[in-house]
Structure 1
Amino acid sequence: MYLADLQHSGAYVAGGGQPVGELKWTFATGGEFMASPAIAPGVGYFASSDGNLYAVDLEAGEEKWRLEIGHLSWSSPAVAAGLVVVGSQDTNLYAVDLQTGQVRWAFKSGGTIRSSPAISDAIVYFTSDDGYLYAVDLQTGQEKWRFNAGSEAGASSPAIADGAVYVGTGDHTHISLYAVDLRTGLERWKFTESDAPAVADVPNHPGSPSLGEGLAVIRRRDYLYAIDLETGQERWKFKTKPTYKYSAQAIYNGVVYFGATDGSVGIVFGLDAQTGDEVWRFETAGEVISPSIAGGVAYFWSDAGFQAVDISTGKELWNFQAVGQALGSFGSFPAIVDGVVYFASKDGSVYALK
Structure 2
Amino acid sequence: MEGSKKPRLLEEVRRRLRVKHYSLRTETIYIGWIKRFILTNGKRHPRDMGAPDLERFLSTLAVQGQVASSTQNQALSALLFLYREVLGIDLPWMENVVRAKRPRRLPTVLSREEVQALLAQLDGRPWLLVSLLYGTGMRLMECLRLRVKDVDFARNEITVRDGKGGKDRRTVLPKSLVEPLQREVERARLLHADDLLAGFGAVWLPHALARKYPAAPRDFGWQYVFPAVHRTVDPRDGVERRHHFDDGMLSRALKSARLRAGINKPLSAHTLRHSFATHMIEAGYDIRTVQELLGHKDVATTQIYTHVLNRGAGGVMSPLDRCAETPAAYLAAIMSEAGKPAGFRFAVEAAAA
Give the structure-2-normalised TM-score.
0.22
Whose relative contact order is higher, 1 or 2, with alpha carbons under 8 Å and at least 6 apart?
Answer: 1
Structure 1 or 2: larger strand share? 1
Give the structure-1-normalised TM-score.
0.21
Structure 1 or 2: larger helix share? 2
